[in-house]
Chains A and B, each alone.
Chain A
Amino acid sequence: ILGGRTSRPGRWPWQCSLQSEPSGHICGCVLIGNKWALTVAHCFEGRESADVWKVVLGINNLDHPSPYMQSRHVKSIIVHSRYNRAVVDYDISVLELESEVEVTSYVRPVCLPGRGQLPKADQYCHITGWGHVGLRMPFKLQEGEVRIISVSQCQSYFDMKTITSRMLCAGYEAGTIDSCMGDSGGPLVCEEDDGRWSLYGLTSWGSVCFSKVLGPGVYANVTHFTEWIERQIYLRTFNL
């Protein structure tokens, strides 16, 4: 996260780290159920086998495992069949964990938005991740507050790319606070009126975040996929 700050342990209990040896942390992910997490499809390019991945939850400092940390192997990866690598469209995948996590203060699922439930333009939401902070990769989870940007405004920043209805933009024109490489698959969450947090976006793509070409970040629009996610979980749960 560029322009963010170090997060307090347990503040974002749905944030997880998707790891693969020998590199360790590759992407962010988000816990949405006791044995289900979401991330983006592009994290699996070239590494589509579930065997090579594990999900680490309840962690703040990647370099110092905490007593609250839980680790699960990945049982299956469901990449959206319409994922388009060139456009980075339909950039979403569901992860089935090998076993259920234990829900604690440090490991808790986030809510999925209802069908059609979108954040309002100009609403402030939060992004989190262990991605680049500028010149280095941080060990501690970073958080940043970003503003939701309308599709039409977002499109004006990316004249060579198409912003589809499967995408959501958030950030600032000047790129002051933005997600960056290594944050992919992590959450864009907004607080609802009742104090719950809902997952509206998954960090997907944007301009090269520490270049001079700035603009908002582009996130997979989770609302568009709510029904798809529920179906994938249902089909897997009942082996259909």
Chain B
Amino acid sequence: CTSTSCSSGCHGNTSCDLRNASNNCSGCEPISLEICMNLPYNSTRFPNYLGHHSQKETSMSWESSLFPALVQTNCYKYLMFFACTVLVPMCDPVTQQRVPPCRSLCRNSKERCESVLGIVGLQWPEDTDCAQFPEEGQANSSCLLPDPDVNECSPSHFKCRSGRCVLSSKRCDGHTDCDDDSDEETCGCVERGLWECPGDKTCIHHNMICDGFPDCSQQEDENNCSACSSHEMECTNHQCVHRSLWCDGSRHCSDSSDEWNCVSLSDEGFVTVHKAGMEYRVCADGWSSNLSSVACTQMGLGSPLSADAVLDVSSAAGRRHWLHVDPDWNPQNMFPLQGLLEKRGQSCTSSKKISLKCTRDKCGRRPAARMVKR
């Protein structure tokens, strides 16, 4: 190694990468190349038979794109198996050495598929000279042959009924890619790797489940996403926030949903505030026109038309849930209404609740066209 002294141990077989504190001398490593994860073996050893020194290098190589494309032509049933034996050679767990493909497997692959490549002007990979691989049954050497029922399609491929492999992304995409059209049959969500909404049967991506945005018409994708305790409430993004912090005028959910829909007008026009999971009316004591503006603004409406204090005759004094205006409130502070109201434990002295009418902001009108006498 140029940077340090020679690597110790492993009889000269280790690389110079000293980021690993203890050198792993075995040389076998688990297969991570996605297109070769259906193999009857799961460990490999580098360099491979194409001269790549790591699985990362292999994954970015021309050959790792070529073989999956070629396998779609159905040129040879065991092409993908052969490709993987050269891309990620089997590592023998006993000898820690690479196990090559048998020469016949290489020759069959080349004979059947090289011509297909030639049609589109491509060449068979140069490093796959079949003579380098041993004949099956040759003394002192072992080699790999496919099991007759080897899965020739990688996990990223769909196997047509005819045996051809097509990319999984081609499955149920509205276009027939298999010669027998089987990639467009039984196109349910599961077959497409998606999640099915129980109600409307819409297919959605798994990463859309519990992400705070309802995608199913009945919002089933956002159900059962959190386990908030009884003293907590669930944010739209499924965080749990203490009930007492809900609608207190400050953000506690990272998506601010604890401060949404805190103020509304009842059908009769009474200001209704949802705070800490309870519904309140607002006591007229200390109310001002500034507060009417705040309330109308935050409900997405325009200026207040009127704000009346209406005697609450519907309930016995003291039994209704009242909110009182914070006496220290400064109109300069731009707080939402729910942040300016507090529970004080006592009933509303005036027993009057606030009724409010807001104007709608003017919108959508075009100036009248100028008229000219002719």
Contact = CB atoms under 8 A, between A and B. Distances in A.
A134 to B, nearest CB: 27
Contacts of A86: none
Given A240-B251, A240-B336, A111 B300 contact: no
A195 B367 CA distance: 11
A111 B363 CA distance: 5
Given A103-B362, A196-B365, 11 more contacts: A10-B366, A13-B366, A13-B367, A108-B367, A111-B364, A159-B174, A197-B365, A230-B300, A237-B334, A238-B298, A240-B256
A109 interface: yes
Given A82-B213, A238-B298, A198 B256 contact: no
A33 B361 contact: yes
Interface residues of A, number: 30
Contact of B365 (A33, A108, A231, A239): A108
24 contacts: A10-B366, A10-B367, A32-B363, A103-B362, A108-B362, A108-B366, A108-B367, A109-B361, A109-B362, A109-B363, A110-B363, A110-B364, A111-B364, A112-B363, A196-B363, A196-B364, A196-B365, A231-B260, A235-B256, A235-B259, A237-B334, A238-B259, A238-B336, A240-B336
A110 B362 CA distance: 8
B156 interface: no
A238 B366 CA distance: 30
A239 B366 contact: no
Identify the 3 closest CB pairs spanning chains A and B, nearest first: A196-B364, A111-B364, A111-B363
Interface of A: 10-13, 32-33, 82, 103, 105-106, 108-112, 159, 192, 195-198, 230-231, 233-235, 237-240
Contacts of A82: 213
B124 interface: no
Nearest to B261: A231
B297 interface: yes
Contact of B259 (A110, A230, A240): A240
A10 B169 CA distance: 50
Interface of B: 174, 213, 250-251, 256, 259-260, 297-298, 300, 334-336, 361-367
Nearest to A233: B300
Contacts of B213: 82
B260 to A, nearest CB: 6
Contacts of B363: 32, 108-112, 196
The dominant DSSP class at the B interface is: loop
A230 B362 CA distance: 16
A223 B292 CA distance: 28
Contacts of B366: 10-13, 108, 197
Contacts of B362: 103, 108-109
Nearest to A196: B364
Contacts of B297: 237
A177 to B, nearest CB: 20
A192 B335 contact: no
Looking at A108, A112, A159, A238, the one whose CB has the most chain B CB atoms below 10 A away is A238
A235 B257 CA distance: 10
B364 A192 contact: yes
A33 B298 CA distance: 13
Nearest to B251: A240
B334 A197 contact: no
B326 to A, nearest CB: 15
A131 to B, nearest CB: 21
Contacts of B335: 238
B174 A197 contact: no
Contacts of A235: 256, 259
A198 B298 contact: no
Contacts of B174: 159
Contact of B300 (A110, A234, A238): A234
A192 B365 CA distance: 10
B366 to A, nearest CB: 6
A190 B264 CA distance: 29
A105 B367 contact: yes
A112 B297 CA distance: 16
Looking at A112, A197, A234, the one whose CB has the most chain B CB atoms below 10 A away is A234
A239 B334 contact: yes
A111 B334 CA distance: 25
Contacts of B250: 240
A156 B363 CA distance: 35
Given A33-B361, A103-B362, A108-B362, A238 B367 contact: no
A179 B362 CA distance: 28
B334 to A, nearest CB: 6
Contacts of A196: 363-365
A76 B336 CA distance: 20
Nearest to A103: B362
Nearest to B208: A82
A188 to B, nearest CB: 14
Contact of A198 (B260, B364, B367): B364
Looking at B259, B300, B334, B336, the one whose CB has the most chain A CB atoms below 10 A away is B300
A200 to B, nearest CB: 12
A82 B211 CA distance: 10
